[in-house]
Structure 1
């Protein structure tokens, strides 16, 4: 008797391929029009940012698409304007750039782990909307995603990292604090979404408990929110239980893991 398919997995590869064809169309449009697209992926530790980025970029031209995952700032960078090192990574004409974590480190891990002062945190929260407004008004399209998972799913994924030799590089002291500081991260996430989901650059929360549904639905939403020729709109219907737009500035956010 054959193996019974998980309904979430049935047809995943075929669905992803069709969406990746749409992504290639999008990139062709970005290149030909000289436009700039910036995608920010934030989220819980183990929420699946790496896998999602791989699904997006797998068939894109590496010359015009870049993934930015900055390491800990150097001593010199510590003395710079906070946004300075990120500005250098913003897309140029005809480019798609994906930030695997971004300036929102300050609103998340730095806040929770005590890597910034209360003053630095407040300065960031008070200025980030204006900073993003300048980016957008200069002609860059900015799309922000927050990948959220529940505590039990995160525990399972952290355990998998410990036993899978191909995931050993992902283990870090910060990840090991994720479960202990779960509530603190939840509070920081809520404050960030409430203060920084602006009308120009709103957040979209992704229920990332199922990795394959995450990939398919995030890509559908991304494609639906961008302009390109020969768009196959029937492919871009996303699951509203996975893709949850966050209302702008202070309005009630989607139901998230507490």
Structure 2
């Protein structure tokens, strides 16, 4: 018990040290974004309880709130439903000097909306056909777009959803959608696989993150983000991500177990 406890303390110390070093790099990145009027959009998708909130929290923790925004849209209103699907998202796109995170995004359409029957087949197929062109327009306009998918195993999801129910500070995270997540595991897997196949393209590739280990996932998302973006004074050795944890989507990863079945 003593050694296990000591190992955990050492692991936590190393995590905190590395996280702080990476957060210093993030401040450097933000200074570069502000100086050069860049527009950065980061989409964070994943399974329910995949760790999206915690990952974004660590990234933005020491960044300027004036130039950093997190967008987590709720259930669409009747007006939203009557509009062009992408319309309610375009209002939140980054302006010059801004770093914006979408905690879930337009990909709701081929995730929860598809699985839970909140959209029609026609709406779903139209989305899959039009989203690559929409993202290409964003990139051509000068927005730098990064898309991350936090992937966890079925067992880890069950464990985390149970912890949410037992933690009084996480009650706000529990929803009927969460409760159905494990029940519809296979349907969500199929929807995810189709999403990858149809929306992984050169202008906006999907980056998959193996997120069963929360700390490792957070560290490697930050490393990958820093690795992909240019800024002055980058610590190249520090920001090199672990390719076993974070990697560009490829169909072969569905077959070899790198992506949870």
State the distance in 2 between where 1:49 and 1:167 align: 14
User: Conserved in 2, the CA contact under 8 Å of 1:193 and 1:253?
Assistant: no
* 1:187 corresponds to: 190
Q: Tell whether 2:23 aligns with 1:5.
A: no
State the distance in 2 between where 1:112 and 1:8 align: 38
User: Conserved in 2, the CA contact under 8 Å of 1:8 and 1:213?
Assistant: no
Stretches of structure 1 lacking an aligned partner (at least 5 in a row): none
* 2:164 corresponds to: 161
Equivalences, count:
255
State the distance in 2 between where 1:104 and 1:125 align: 9
- The CA RMSD over aligned residues, in Å, is 1.2
Cα offset for 1:252? 3.8
Stretches of structure 2 lacking an aligned partner (at least 5 in a row): none
Cα offset for 1:253? 4.4
Structure 1-normalised TM-score?
A: 0.96
State the distance in 1 between where 2:190 and 2:227 align: 30
Corresponding residue to 1:28 among 12, 27, 31: 31
Q: Tell whether 2:45 aligns with 1:42.
A: yes
* 2:119 corresponds to: 116
Runs (4 or more) in structure 1 with deviation over 6 Å come to none
Corresponding residue to 2:220 among 210, 217, 221: 217
Q: Render the CA deviation track for 1:10-51: whole Å, top value 9, x for unaligned.
A: 411010000000000000000010010000000000000000
Q: What secondary structure is seen at the aligned counterpart in 2 of 1:11?
A: helix
User: Conserved in 2, the CA contact under 8 Å of 1:41 and 1:146?
Assistant: yes
Cα offset for 1:9? 3.1
Q: What secondary structure is seen at the aligned counterpart in 1 of 2:62?
A: coil
Cα offset for 1:231? 0.4
* 1:90 corresponds to: 93
State the distance in 1 between where 2:60 and 2:114 align: 30
Q: Tell whether 2:151 aligns with 1:148.
A: yes
Q: Tell whether 2:232 aligns with 1:229.
A: yes
Q: Tell whether 2:133 aligns with 1:130.
A: yes
Structure 2-normalised TM-score?
A: 0.95
Corresponding residue to 1:15 among 12, 15, 18: 18
State the distance in 1 between where 2:185 and 2:42 align: 26
State the distance in 1 between where 2:190 and 2:80 align: 28
Q: What secondary structure is seen at the aligned counterpart in 1 of 2:99?
A: strand
Q: What secondary structure is seen at the aligned counterpart in 1 of 2:45?
A: strand
